[in-house]
Amino acid sequence: MTHEKKKKIAIRYYSKTGHMKRMAEVVAAVTGAEARPVSEPMEEPVDTLFLGSAVYLAGVDAQVKDFIASLDAERVKKVVCFSSAGILTSSYAQVKALLEQRGIAVDAREFHCRGQFALLHRGHPDRQDLDALRHFVAQLEEE
């Protein structure tokens, strides 16, 4: 009888408006891991870290940058990014560059959806966005 080792998963997010928190809670519902803000340091080693961030004024928030700077490549094997933005396509490129500087692998697949910004994209992320995120994470979990 073979025993598959259960992957250790963590979820961290940064949210000014509550959008990323809602998205992180969807990831938590699929993975069974607890969604925590980036203000809580990573203490446990993990196979996969789901990292939720958004683009504010064309950049990744300083709290996300500080969190990434605190990560240890020996303790985080891989990061999967999820994000929302009102105008830019995603925070993936910026987050990936920061993580790779730390020697941390970043999954080439990311989840991104529109986020509400002032009057743009009102109501996003919406139910369809969250369902798409749920499907994205479920597919990753099946691997």
Residue ranges of the chain with pLDDT lower than 50? 1-3, 118-120
For the domain that residue 101 is a member of, what is the CATH number?
Answer: 3.40.50.360
Look at residue 92 in the predicted model and tell me its pLDDT.
Answer: 85
State how many domains the chain has.
Answer: 1
Look at residue 138 in the predicted model and tell me its pLDDT.
Answer: 95
Look at residue 5 in the predicted model and tell me its pLDDT.
Answer: 62
Which whole-number Å values give the CA distances from 83 to 4, 36, 119, in the listed order?
30, 15, 19
> Of 8, 111, 99, 109, which Cα lies nearest the Cα of 52?
111
Look at residue 122 in the predicted model and tell me its pLDDT.
Answer: 56
73 belongs to a structural domain? yes
Look at residue 84 in the predicted model and tell me its pLDDT.
Answer: 82
Percent of the chain with pLDDT over 90: 61
Look at residue 108 in the predicted model and tell me its pLDDT.
Answer: 93
Look at residue 2 in the predicted model and tell me its pLDDT.
Answer: 45
1 belongs to a structural domain? no
Domain span at residue 31 reads: 9-141
Count the Cβ atoms, other than its own, within 10 Å of residue 70. Answer: 11
Look at residue 65 in the predicted model and tell me its pLDDT.
Answer: 93
Look at residue 58 in the predicted model and tell me its pLDDT.
Answer: 62
